[in-house]
Amino acid sequence: MELGKLIPSKTKETARRVVAKVVEELLEKLEQNMIQAITGALNRNVPNPRPTYHEIDWKRTILRNLKHYQEDYKTIIPQKLYGYGRNRRKSLKDIILCLDQSGSMGTSIIYSGIFGSVMASLPSVSTKMVVFDTEVVDLTQDLKDPVDLLFGVQLGGGTDINKALGYCQTLVSKPEDTILILITDLEEGGSVSGMLKKIERLKAQGVQLIVLLSLNDDGKPYYSQHIAKKVNALAVPVFACTPDKFPDLMATTINQGDIRKWAGDEGMVLVG
């Protein structure tokens, strides 16, 4: 499902109807899982001093109250409950989707546009979308309308990941709460050494960085194995992901889980 094939050259109006139909079908299929996964993960990361029964973090509550074990009753009587909360007033995580718009990434861009639009609708996260070839374009303002967003993508051209990461660095204001998803086949046409240095710098700042070689249904990417190994050596997870697993990936990342283990358990194409 290459984007160039998805948008015929007949008329812009006809093309827009085709894209709108695809977007509608994908939203119906993917939206709820994405919302539930991210809001659930975020709620678990917000302390709640007065949790309701369904918001109690039982593992943490039990561990913190072991000293209150009552031998006579063979149970723990907790003196304090620990729970998950909900915070809708501010962004808890900043998410940057950085997309390679070379010709081979067409399907990945479609799914990324859908997920980006869904995440942009959530008040607890701040979502930005950047696409690149040899130039970098910020499409964040189009996230409210995934159809407009897809029309802003121009497939083809070269690849300058180094330049794209340089732009993404300017978007990072709270690195320890920032997740950067770089979706690319890693066929770098710019500076490989510069790209690797920027990755190291982002990680040193505390940014959670993940490289997805593709985001498509078959999960079988074409990519630069040589560069993928170099990125993996920097302790950055590098793998291909299918769209149905992307919500779980985001939830695992927000919860700061072991991404490599998660990807391996899910049968993803994993480098390293």
Per-residue pLDDT, 70? 85
158-194 residues labelled b (16+ CB within 10 A) or e (exposed): ebbbbbbbbbbbebbeebebbbbbbbbbbbbebebeb
Per-residue pLDDT, 187? 94
Mean pLDDT per 10-residue interval, the chain, length 272 residues: 45 60 67 72 63 69 84 83 58 87 84 86 85 92 81 77 98 95 95 98 97 88 94 96 90 90 91 84
CB of 135 within 8 A of CB of 167? no
CATH 3.40.50.410 fits 88-265, yes or no: yes
Per-residue pLDDT, 114? 86
Per-residue pLDDT, 169? 98
Q: What is the pLDDT of residues 71-84, one digit of tens each?
A: 888 888 888 877 65
DSSP state of 107: H
Per-residue pLDDT, 180? 97
CB of 170 within 8 A of CB of 202? no
Beta bridge partners of 170: none
pTM reported for the whole predicted model:
0.74
Q: Where are the domains of the chain?
A: 47-84, 88-265
DSSP 3-state of 103: helix
Per-residue pLDDT, 170? 97
Per-residue pLDDT, 240? 94
